[in-house]
Structure 1
C-alpha cells in the first residue's frame, strides 16, 4: 500500500489542485478500507511489520497533506 499512497498523492499534485481541492483532499475508498483494517489489526496486536511500515508511510503523507491544507509550505508557496 505504501507505493499506492505515494502514487495517489503524487497524481493529485500533478493535477495542480485548486485550494478547494486541497482542502477536501483525502483517502479514496480503497485506502480508507485498508486503513480501517490495519488500524483494527494494530489495536488487536495482529499488525504485520509490512502493514506497520505502510501505516507509517500513510502517516507521513497525511502530515504533508496537513501542511498543504494549512498553507505551511513556504518553499512551495514561493514557487508560484
Structure 2
C-alpha cells in the first residue's frame, strides 16, 4: 500500500517508523466511537454515585455485549483484523477497570453488617 503524505507528516512519522503499525492502530482506535462511548457509559454510571449493589450488578449494554461476543468469536477463529484486535484490547481494558471496581465493592459489601 502506498500513501501520499504532506512532507511535515512524513518527517514526523519517520521518527516512529519502526512502530508505525502501532501508531496507525492507535489512531484508528481514537476514531472508533464504540469504545469511547463505552468509556462514557461507564464514567456516567460512576458519576451517578451508584450504590454498592448497583455497582456490583453493573453490566455493559446488550448491544455492547453482543459486539464483544462477536469480536471474541472472530478472535477464537483467528479472523480478527488489526483494528478489531485493537478494539478487543480496548474492551479488555474497560472490563479490567470495571472488574476492579466490582472487586472493591464486593470487599466493601462483605465488611458491612
Normalised by the length of structure 1, the TM-score is 0.80
Output the CA distance in 2 between the equivalents of 1:8 and 1:51: 20
Q: Which structure is larger by alpha-carbon Rg, 1 or 2?
A: 2
Matched, 1:18 2:42: no
Q: Which runs of 5+ in 1 are unaligned?
A: 73-80
Shift of 1:11: 1.3
Output the CA distance in 2 between the equivalents of 1:50 and 1:11: 26
Normalised by the length of structure 2, the TM-score is 0.58
Output the CA distance in 2 between the equivalents of 1:12 and 1:54: 21
Output the CA distance in 1 between the equivalents of 2:66 and 2:58: 16
Which of structure 1's runs of 4+ aligned residues deviate more than 4 A?
none
Output the CA distance in 1 between the equivalents of 2:55 and 2:48: 11
Match of 2:13 in 1: none
The size of the alignment, in residue pairs, is 72
Match of 2:85 in 1: 52
Q: How does 1:1-80 map to 2 (within 5 A)?
A: 1-71=34-104
Q: CA RMSD in A?
A: 1.4
Match of 1:75 in 2: none
Output the CA distance in 2 between the equivalents of 1:27 and 1:19: 17
Output the CA distance in 1 between the equivalents of 2:102 and 2:96: 10
Render the CA deviation track for 1:17-43: whole Å, top value 9, x for unaligned.
Answer: 110111001111110110111111111
